[in-house]
Structure 1
Amino acid sequence: MSELKNLKVMIVEDEKNIRDSMAEALESSFGEIITAQHGSEGVKKFKKYTPHIVVTDISMPIMDGLDMTKAIKEISSSTPIIVLSAFSEKEKLLKAIDVGVDKYLLKPIDMDELLASIAELAKRKINALNDVEFGDGFKFNLSTKALYKNDEMIALTKKELAFVMLLVERIGTLVLHEDIKKHVWLGEHVNDTAIRTFVKRVRDKIGNETIKNVPGLGYKIEF
């Protein structure tokens, strides 16, 4: 499935040997493999790299996989997450469901089963990425990185495109000013006044009501 090459997968596992072997098994099928050794690092790398699918262990130091899942789902509720664990207790399964885990696999992991599970969730993600519809007749294709209004493409600058894509990838979720600075200005210094001026220019192209402002915090696009 050639579309898998467009996807980023993050593996969160505290045991280095397992983490490395999983990354090696997946790297030929996906465009990019990101690794983290515990949940706290996983959240940080999710914010930095915005992977399309997350595979995580449960029992890890600093922050476990279920707490990390909850944090990631608050950032992007549509990101598929597969949890791997040696636990079979009812409480763990119930908590996994409660925090929004998409798939739960028990250790020892069968690599073919893991690959099949990721491929299944990837298909869903690819279908979701084809066209994200929002607002009054807007449609964004994350594969081609193009924004349309009633099937007519809207021209965007490089920064405008990065901003709209960030909001669409996290649609329905507030994107903080710091994340906008990091993803749109790539760490360059920019003040809040410049951001407001920039957002106003984008709103002039796609409408004030499409991009919601949460004063002092950031912006979001609703479904």
Structure 2
Amino acid sequence: MSDLSKITVLFVEDEQDIRDALEGAIGDEFQSFIMARDGEEGFKKFQKYKPDIVVTDILMPIKDGLEMSKEIKKISRDTPIVVLSAFDEKERLLKAIDIGIDKYLIKPIDADELMNVLNFIGQDLLSLDDTVSLGGDYKFDRSKKVLIKGDTIIPLTKKELLFITILVKNLGVFVLHEEIKKYVWINKNVSDAAIRTFVKRIRSKTSKDFIKNVPGLGYQINTFI
């Protein structure tokens, strides 16, 4: 687990009850937990406080979360941004890929789910370890680029390794089909059916529960196996 007490989070959400609930549930885990009610206020607070991580809803008055994120990425490309999205907002998520959003969470979310994601991000920010625990007996060595179960390295092809790498980068959340195609197949024309067959092959090398499918959206590593 990362030391979140060293990290500042900016949480942008227009619904006050959600802001208050999450601040009460997880706010004390961080050095600072800053809140904003819309994208315009969020961007101003980003400039003022320079948070380590931004968590934002998409649909908000005055300025939405994607517009704010685009402005943030222009001045701070490496700041991780987690977008909270309703399941039916796929088109907006596709736009988020071009902006450079780092992670996506489907609403409604709970505090434990968000903390799980923030812990993974915190681990990257603080560079705690090259070896990432993936749940069960699985782990990924980021320096050697190998997937390990127990003490055994799982043999993967180059594309399978790229696929696992992007899922590890996004632990706790899903990765869109379009982002997977862009990263693994370099935008070559590959069908969703071909990806399903590809994932089935990786599951045969790991387990049927290792990779979780989010129907119609993408895939993620199941860290709770």
TM-score, normalised with respect to structure 2: 0.54
Partners of 1:63 and 1:77 in 2: how far apart? Answer: 20
SS at match of 2:28: coil
Any stretches of 5+ residues in structure 2 without a counterpart?
Answer: 129-225
2:112 alignment partner in structure 1: 112
Partner of 1:30: 30
Q: Which residue in the other structure is 1:3 paired with?
A: 3
Question: What is residue 88 of structure 2 aligned with on the other side?
Answer: 88
Alpha-carbon RMSD across the aligned residues, in angstroms, is 1.5
Cα distance between partner residues in 2 of 1:52 and 1:2? 13
Amino acid at match of 2:81: I
Distance of 1:86 and 1:72 partners within structure 2: 22
Any conservation in 1 of the 2:43–2:72 contact (CA below 8 Å)? yes
Q: CA deviation at 1:15?
A: 0.5
| Residue of structure 2 in register with 1:40 after alignment | 40
Q: Deviations over 1:89-111 (max 9, x none)?
A: 33112011111111111111132
Higher CA-based Rg: 1
For 1:1-223, list aligned pairs within 5 A: 1=1, 3-127=3-127
Q: Percent identity?
A: 55
- CA distance in 1 between partners of 2:24 and 2:79 (Å): 22
Q: Which AA in structure 2 matches 1:91?
A: E
How far apart, in 1, do the equivalents of 2:85 and 2:73 lie? 19
Cα contact 2:69–2:101 (8 A) shared by 1 = yes
Note the alpha carbon deviations across 1:103-143, whole angstroms, 9 max, x for none.
11111113221111111111111129xxxxxxxxxxxxxxx
Partner Cα distance (1:9, 1:27) in 2: 9
- The DSSP-based 3-state class of the residue aligned with 2:61 is coil
SS at match of 1:28: helix
- Structure 1 gaps of 5+ residues are 129-223
Paired amino acid for 1:39: G
Please say if residues 10 and 35 of structure 1, whose CA atoms lie closer than 8 Å, have aligned partners that are also in contact: yes
Q: Deviations over 1:64-103 (max 9, x none)?
A: 0011111111111111011112243331120111111111
Q: Residues of 2 paired with 1:3 and 1:106: CA distance?
A: 25
Moved over 4 A (4+): none
**Which deviates more, 59-68 or 108-117?**
108-117
Q: Secondary structure at the match of 2:29?
A: coil
Q: CA deviation at 1:2?
A: 6.4
Say if 1:14 and 1:37, in contact at 8 Å, map to a contact too: yes
Amino acid at match of 1:6: K
Q: Give the match's secondary structure for 1:88.
A: coil
1:104 is paired with a residue whose SS is: strand
Give the deviation of 1:18 after TM superposition. Answer: 0.3
| More deviation, 78-87/61-70 | 78-87
The CA distance in 1 between the partners of 2:104 and 2:14, in whole Å, is 18
TM-score for the superposition, normalised by structure 1:
0.55
